[in-house]
């Protein structure tokens, strides 16, 4: 397959509550030519009742890792407050081993909309400032364990001696991306992580965050990749996309980062690549055949340059 400037990833349908469907989607995405598959870290869909289903991300990715060969797989993003740092490192390292070095560990601090999950399942939580400090310590701890080193401890994350065995496949472990739009998170990613993910941002706003990311990383002599993710409506043509978007709005579903034809979506991806995105990872909203549409019309256009 021709090398593309930007990789295209797909969010798996974990909110279907059907693990087999997520595994089958990952296998189909690999066959179609997508570069990666990712999962949200939620125990039920955000802003939905707690009796709505969602399969757990790490166990589902283990099934994906064992039944695919090429696609990257990862969390977008796992909430640092849900699991001890040592457990996150162990889960990610094991997935890296199962997949032969294809794991991407996305980490985030969590948002206010996650609070009902903490109540429903008895998960501990922290305030905004403490969550960000905790996330930074979690990243430092995880990356130390990936390197085969102990973590000395911080304010929220205790000392962890390790070692992490078996180790990840890759030296230094899976790449760690931080998710979040605030400049503090972007700068933290530039200083500590391997990548940053901006959810649902317009290309112009994304560019500004990438500038901040590269400024922070460059001052420390580091290189950190910028990645984009969001909900997109891809139509056969503009009229098709407008019909899908209108139907979603009628149901009260908002938050689409893009709506337009397959041709225009390819242009949108190229624009994000021009803004230095290395990945574009999407939730494909609308009819069930959108993955096939993107595979047929968008992937070849991106491969052609």
- In tens, the pLDDT along 56-65 reads 999 999 999 9
Cα–Cα distance, 138 to 84 (Å, whole number): 8
**Which ranges of 100-169 would DSSP assign to H, the alpha helix?**
115-121, 128-146
Q: What is the pLDDT of residues 160-218, one digit of tens each?
A: 999 999 999 999 999 999 999 999 999 999 999 999 999 999 999 999 999 999 999 99
The CA–CA distances, whole Å, from 213 to 138, 171, 182, 184, 189 equal: 19, 24, 11, 10, 7
Is 90 exceeded by the pLDDT of residue 281? yes
* Radius of gyration, alpha carbons of the chain: 19
**Pair of tokens at residue 297:** 């019309």
Cα–Cα distance, 207 to 59 (Å, whole number): 34
3-state helix, strand, coil in the chain (%, to 5): 45, 20, 35
pLDDT band at 3 (very low <50, low <70, confident <90, very high): very low
Is 60 exceeded by the pLDDT of residue 4? no
**Pair of tokens at residue 241:** 């996309």
62 backbone dihedrals φ, ψ, rounded to 5°: -65, -40
Is 50 exceeded by the pLDDT of residue 31? yes
pTM above 0.85, yes or no: yes
pLDDT at site 173: 98
Helix (H, G, I), strand (E, B) or coil at 32: helix
Helix (H, G, I), strand (E, B) or coil at 227: strand
User: What's the average model confidence in pLDDT over 12-34?
Assistant: 97
β-bridge mates for residue 74, sequence order: 38, 104
- Residues with Cβ within 8 Å of 58's Cβ and at least 6 positions away in sequence, in order, are 75, 78, 91, 95
- Alpha carbon 95 to its chain's center: 15
């Amino acid at each position: 397959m021709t090398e593309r400037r930007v990789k295209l990833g797909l969010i798996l349908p974990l909110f279907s509550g059907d693990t087999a469907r997520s595994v089958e989607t990952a296998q189909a995405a690999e066959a179609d030519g997508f570069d990666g598959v990712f999962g949200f870290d939620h125990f039920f869909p955000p802003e939905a009742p707690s009796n709505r289903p969602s399969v757990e991300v790490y166990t589902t990715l283990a099934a994906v890792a064992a039944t695919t060969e090429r696609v990257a797989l990862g969390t977008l993003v796992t909430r640092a407050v849900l699991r001890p740092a040592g457990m996150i490192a162990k889960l990610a390292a094991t997935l890296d081993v199962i997949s032969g070095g294809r794991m991407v560990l996305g980490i985030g601090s969590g948002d206010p909309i996650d609070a009902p999950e903490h109540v429903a399942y008895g998960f501990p939580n922290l305030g905004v400032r403490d969550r960000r400090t905790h996330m930074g310590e979690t990243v430092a701890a995880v990356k130390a364990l990936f390197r085969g080193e102990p973590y000395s401890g911080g304010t929220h994350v205790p000392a962890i001696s390790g070692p992490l065995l078996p180790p990840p496949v890759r030296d230094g472990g899976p790449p760690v991306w931080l998710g979040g739009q605030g400049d503090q998170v972007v700068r933290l990613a530039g200083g500590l992580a391997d990548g940053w993910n901006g959810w649902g941002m317009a290309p112009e706003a994304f560019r500004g965050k990438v500038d901040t990311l590269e400024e922070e990383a460059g001052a420390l002599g580091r290189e950190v990749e910028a990645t984009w993710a969001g909900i997109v409506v891809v139509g056969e043509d503009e009229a098709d996309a407008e019909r899908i978007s209108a139907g979603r709005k009628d149901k009260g579903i908002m938050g689409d980062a893009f709506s337009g034809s397959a041709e225009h979506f390819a242009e949108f991806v190229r624009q994000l690549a021009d803004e230095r995105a290395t990945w574009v990872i999407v939730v494909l909203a609308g009819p069930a055949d959108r993955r096939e549409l993107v595979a047929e019309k968008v992937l070849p256009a991106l491969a052609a340059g």
